[in-house]
Amino acid sequence: MLRLSVPRVGLALAGALLLAYAFVVAPGAWRAPDPGRPVRPAAPGALATADAPAVAAVAFPPAGRAFVGVMTDTGPYDLGAVDRFAAAAGRAPQVMLFGASWASATFDRALFDRIADRGMMPMLGWEPWDHAVDEAARDTGLPARQVDRLRSTQPEYRLARITAGDFDGYLRSWAEGVRSLGYPVAVRFAHEMNGDWYPWCERANGNRPGDYVRAWRHVHDVFAAAGATNVTWVWSPNARWDKTTAGLTGLYPGDDYVDWVGVTGYYGMGAFTKTYSSFDQIFGPTVAEIRALTRKPLVVTETAAAESSGHKARWIRETFASLPRYPNLIGLIWFEVDKEQDWRIAGSPDAAAAFAEAVATDRYDVTWSPAARPRAGP
C-alpha cells in the first residue's frame, strides 16, 4: 500500500489537496515492487487513478499462454529446490503448489507471502486428514495397496463431518487469513477424490455417494461467507488408468463452486510402467471426461516422468508438444520431488534440456503478479 505523509505547512489549500490525494488516489495507486515485497492490489481486478476509470487487470495467464508451476518436497519453507528447478528449466515458475494437512496446519501468512514475493501464485493443496497417519502407514513397509487402506481410514475426517460443520471454526480461521492476503491464491481442495487412497475419497473411510460434493460446497460457502473472494477453487481428480479407477460422475461440485479444473497423472508409476505411455494416453480419457462436465480452464496440477523409465526426456518433449492441442489448458505443475521415484529435472541433464527447450517458447512467457486476475475462461 502506498503510504503518504502530509507536511506540516500552513497552507490550507495544499493540505486539502494532499488529503484528497491520500483518500482518493492512493488506495488505487501503484508503485514499482521493492525487493522485499511485491505490490498488493488495492482492489481485486482493477487499477484506478484520479483521472481515469478503473482498468481491468491482466488475466493470468493471458489468452494463448500457459503457466509453468512447481511442487517441491520443502515447499515455501525452503525455496532452494525452486531455484534449482528454475535453473534447470531456464525459466522461473509462476505458480507454486504446496500441501497443508488439516490435522496440523494453521494459517501462516508468511508462507503465502514467501511464494508471492518470488513472483509465483500460491496454490494451496488443502488436505482434510492427518498426514502423520500416512507417514506411519508408509513406515510399515507393507505393499502399496495396504498402505492406501491404512492411510485412508481416518473416521475423524469423514466427509459428512465436514458438511455437518464440525470443522467450521478451522475453516473460518483459514478463510479469514486468506482474505487478509489481498491477492489471488488458488486452493486445490481434497484432490484425487476419484481414488480410494485418501480419507476424503467417496470409496473410502465410510463416505457415501454425494458426500464429496456436499463437503466441497460447504467449504466453499464458509469461505464466501467470510469474504474470501480472492480464492480460485481448483477441482482436481486423478487420471484414470483403468476401469477400476472411479469415474467422475457425481463428484463435480458444479461451475458455481469451481474456478479451475485440474488433473493429476505420472509416467513411471502404477499402470504406466510396463510400456511407454504418452501424455495423451495417460491424461486424454480423463480430460475428455472432465470436458463432458465443464469448460472451465484446465490445469495439469501434478505431473512428472520417472528417471527410471528411461524415457524421461522423450516424455517431456512429447508432453509439451501435446499441451496446445487441449483447449483452454492454462498451466502445468511439475512434481520436482525425489519420492518413490526421482521425478526431478534438476540433476537430470537430458530431462532438463528437454524441459528448457519446451518452455522457452512464447507460450510460456508468462508473469504473475498480485495484481493479476486468475483466468476465468478461454
From first to last of its 378 residues, what are the pLDDT tens digits of the chain? 333 333 333 333 333 333 333 333 333 332 233 333 333 333 334 433 334 444 467 999 999 999 999 999 999 999 999 999 999 999 999 999 999 999 999 999 999 999 999 999 999 999 999 999 999 999 999 999 999 999 999 999 999 999 999 999 999 999 999 999 999 999 999 999 999 999 999 999 999 999 999 999 999 999 999 999 999 999 999 999 776 677 899 999 999 999 999 999 999 976 556 689 999 999 999 999 999 999 999 999 999 999 888 899 999 999 999 999 999 999 999 999 998 899 999 999 999 999 999 999 999 999 999 999 999 976
Q: pTM, whole model, 2 decimals? A: 0.85
CB 330 within 8 A of CB 298: yes
Residues pairing with 96 in the sheet: 70, 122
CB 171 within 8 Å of CB 106 = no
Q: What is the DSSP letter of 6?
A: -
Among 295, 302, 303, residue whose Cα is nearest residue 328: 295
**Rounded Cα distance, 194 and 196, in Å:** 7
72's grid cell: 517441491
Q: Write down the H helix ranges in 292-368.
A: 312-322, 349-359
